[in-house]
Amino acid sequence: MTFLDNIQLAFVAALAVENLLYCLLGVTLGMVVGVLPGIGHLAAITMLMPMTFHVPPTAALVMLAGIYYGAQYGGSIASILLRLPGTASTAVTCLDGYPMARQGRAGVALFITTIASFIGGVLAIAVLIALAPPLAEVALTFASADYFAMMVLGLVATATLCQGNPLMGAASVVIGLILGLVGTDVNTGTMRFTFGIPQLFDGISLVALAMALFGLTEVISSAGKKNDHAARQDKITLRSLMPTRKDLRQSIVPTLRGSAVGTAVGILPGAGGGSMASFMAYAFEKRVSRTPERFGHGAIEGVAAPESANNATAQAAFIPTLTLGIPGDAVMALMLGALLIHGIQPGPRVITENPELFWGLVGSFFIGNVLLLILNIPLIGIWVRILAIPYQYLFPAVVAFIGVGVYSITYSYVDVLSVAVIGLAGYVMVLIGFEAAPILLGYILGPMLEENFRRSLLLSGGDLSVFVTRPVSAGLLGLSLVAIIWALVSALRGRQKRPAEGTL
C-alpha cells in the first residue's frame, strides 16, 4: 500500500461511527481524569479496560488511547490553576503556569497549553505515520549503557531548573535519587529504606510525592494569605483568552522544539515517558533563553515547551509499542494487554496483518486531538473561574482532593501520611532554597538509572569502559560533562559580577 492509501485507510477507519464515538468518550474521560489531581490516566485505563472486552479491538484501543492523551491535556489545568499536577508529566507546567495564573493570565496560559499540546500531538502523529518502522528499529539499537547515559544527561539538565545556584539544583536531584531508592531492590529482592513498613516495599508513591511537593507545599505556603490574585482576573471573554503577538512569538519555536524532544523521547522505550520529555524540554528552553531569569516567574515558553513535549511523547510512545511490541511504560503495557485480550499478537506484523486496526488507531489520534481542541477552548473560562473561589473554601477542597486522589490508587493510609510528611518537609526545603521539580525528576529517573547502570556492568563483566566505548553513550556523557562545566562557569561569572555591581 502507498502512503496515500495508508492515510485514506486511517481516516476511513477512524471516522467509522463506532470508532468515532469511542474516541469522543475516551478523550472526554481522559480530560476529566487529568483535571482531577492524583487519579491519573493509568488508574483510569485500568478501571475502564473491562468495558472494552466486548467491543471490536479498534474501538477498544481508540478509547484507551484517548484516555491516555486526553489526560495529558487535562492534567495541565490543575497544574496552572492550583499548582496541583494532574499527571506527573504536567508537574513542570506548575513552574511557570501557576505564576501566570497569579498574574491574572490563567486564560492565556490555558489557551497556549491547549494549542501547544495540539501541535505537539499532531507533529508526533506525522512522525508516527511517516517513520514508525525505521525509527523503531533505531530505538532497538540502544543498549542499557546508552539509556544510562541519556538519563545522566536528563538529570544534569534538570539541575539547571533550580533558580540561581546550580549546586542547589544538583542537591535537589540527589534528594530525588535517594527517595527513588526506597523499596525493593529489583536485582536482589532486598528491602531498602522501608523501615519495616510493608506499604513502602514498592517504594514511595509517585502521585503522593508529586501531590506533596507541588500541591500541599503550596497550600502551606499560602495559608493565611488573602486570595488577591483572583481579583486580577479579567472578565472572561474570548479576547481575554487570546495571547498577544508577543506571547505567540515567544511560544512558536519552544512549541516546535518541545514537540521534537517529546517525539524523540517517546520513540525510545523505557526513557521515562512524558515526565522526562517535559522536564528536558523545559530545561533546554531555559538554557537557550536570553532571559533565563524569567523562568519560574511566568515565562510563557515554560508552559508551551513542556506541554507540547508531553503530548508528543504520548503519541510517539505508540511507535515501539505497535511496531515492535515493546512497551515504553505501564500505560503502553496495558495497551499491549488489550491487544492480547482481543487475540492480536503485538509486534511488527500488526501493521501488515491488522492494517485497519493500526491505521484506524493512528487516524483516531488526529481526530482525538481535534476533539480535545474543540472541547478545551470553550471550557477555559470555566476553569479560570476556579481562581475566584476564596482561599478558605478553595484550600480545604484542594487538600481533600489530594487525600482522596492519593488514597484511591492503592487504598493505603501510608500514602496519605507520606503526603503529609513530604509536604511539610517540602515547605521547609522551599524556605531553604531547594526546588520541587529537580527532586521529582530525580525520583522518576533514579530507579531506571540504577537498573541500566547495573545491567550494563553485568553484561560487560564489570568493565566501566562500556559507557565510553559505545558512541551513543560516550556522546551523551560528553554532553553531560559540557553542561556541568557550562553551569559552573556561569555560576562563577555570576558570582564575580555581583560584587562588581555592588561597588557602583
Question: Which pLDDT score is estimated for 503?
Answer: 44
Task: Using a cut of 0.75, tell me whether the model's pTM lies above it.
Answer: no
Residue whose cell numbers read 492534567? 75
Q: For 102-121, what is each residue's pLDDT tens digit?
A: 888 888 888 888 888 889 88
**What does the block give as the cell for 58?**
479498534
Cα separation, 362 vs 6, whole angstroms: 10
Query: What residue ranges do the domains of the chain occupy?
Result: 3-496
On whether the CB atoms of residues 441 and 154 are closer than 8 A, the answer is: yes
**pLDDT score for 325:** 65
Q: For residues 25 and 283, give the distance between their C-alpha atoms in angstroms, rounded to a whole number.
A: 35
Cα–Cα distance, 6 to 129 (Å, whole number)? 8
Q: How many CB atoms lie within 10 A of CB 156?
A: 24
Spans in the chain with pLDDT lower than 50: 229-234, 500-504
Supply the pLDDT for residue 227: 52
Nearest to 323 by CA among 347, 343, 342: 347
Find, among 467, 454, 492, the residue nearest to 150 by Cα: 467
User: What dihedral angle (degrees, nearest 10) is formed by the CA atoms of 320, 323, 324, 325?
Assistant: 80
